[in-house]
Amino acid sequence: MKIIECPRDAWQGFPHFIPTEQKAAYLNQLLKVGFHTIDFGSFVSPKAMPQVSDTARLLNHLELSGTASRLLAIVANERGATEACRFEQIQVLGYPFSISETFQLRNANATIRESFEKTRSIAALCMENGKELVIYVSMGFGNPYGDFWNVAYTLDKIHELAEMGITKFSLADTIGIAREDDIHSLFSQLFAAYPKLEFGAHFHSKPGSWIQKVNAAYKAGCRRFDGVLLGYGGCPMAQDKLVGNISTDQLIAFAQEKKELLKLDSEALANAQKMFLQLANMYS
């Protein structure tokens, strides 16, 4: 089981800017834990996401020689992807591809059709620069705008992306409304249709319903899960303050119950939890 730790997803919503040096100190602690990947920053408009406007500067402060964790950066367009590809330290780019027309226009200033072309360009940049690309299927389980959605619709959009050569996907329950049946159905059909591709889950949830979502995906074959220590963050579109990221702490407990081998450093993890709680108390 792979756990993708997403501090970027947590602190991008903090009302107060976290100084670069403090972010870097926390990331360096996370790099000691043993997570598969760390979603550490975004190359997006600083006006849209001021909290991650120092992503490029962060890289100068990270201690990467003793870690096996990979760095993932989110990009919203070709410009961001070009910038991210300049940095050898970044192994993975993530592109949020919303299958809600309304959300894609709001989030990336592009229609779904235009986003297919953006994906093609970003995939080419990744290929040229030796980067891995993960497509985040945003609003993958429904949306709050009344845009059309069902399981077949999500499958259809992923099929189009797979036909373009995309091999890694993370299905995002952006506003925390995914139902167990839909989760199981989607992942079961995806793994059956594309056994050589990788599909992960980026769930947002109320505290009491995370286990049902994770379990439904796991039973269907999913072994890649995104989380945030202590369950901070989420999506402002959720319109519910109780909806946040799945807690990494809970994902670890779930993995242990399933006898999954994670190879995490428990002392480094405990120190990271303390550091993140301090940051959250100071800046959230």
Antiparallel, parallel or unpaired: β 37-43 and 92-98: unpaired
Of 266, 228, 224, give the one whose Cα is nearest residue 248. Answer: 228
Task: State residue 234's pLDDT score.
Answer: 52
For 161, residues 6+ apart whose C-beta sits below 8 A from its C-beta are 97, 116, 119, 135, 169
> Which CATH architecture does the domain made up of 2-283 adopt?
Alpha-Beta Barrel (3.20)
For the chain, 284 residues long, the average pLDDT of each consecutive 10-residue run is 95 90 98 98 90 96 96 96 98 97 90 96 98 97 95 98 97 93 98 98 88 97 96 55 78 97 96 94 89
Q: Is 102 left (phi over 0), alpha (psi -120 to 50) or beta?
A: alpha
Burial letters for 10-32: b for 16+ Cβ neighbours within 10 Å, e otherwise? bbbebeeebeeeebbebbbbbbb
Of 5, 1, 72, give the one whose Cα is nearest residue 224. Answer: 1
Domain spans, the chain: 2-283
Q: Over the stretch 85-97, which tens digit does the pLDDT of each residue have?
A: 999 999 999 999 9
C-beta separation of 27 from 276 below 8 A? no
For 245, residues 6+ apart whose C-beta sits below 8 A from its C-beta are 6, 9, 10, 203, 204, 226, 227, 228, 231, 232, 233, 234
The pTM of the full predicted model, rounded to 2 decimals, is 0.95
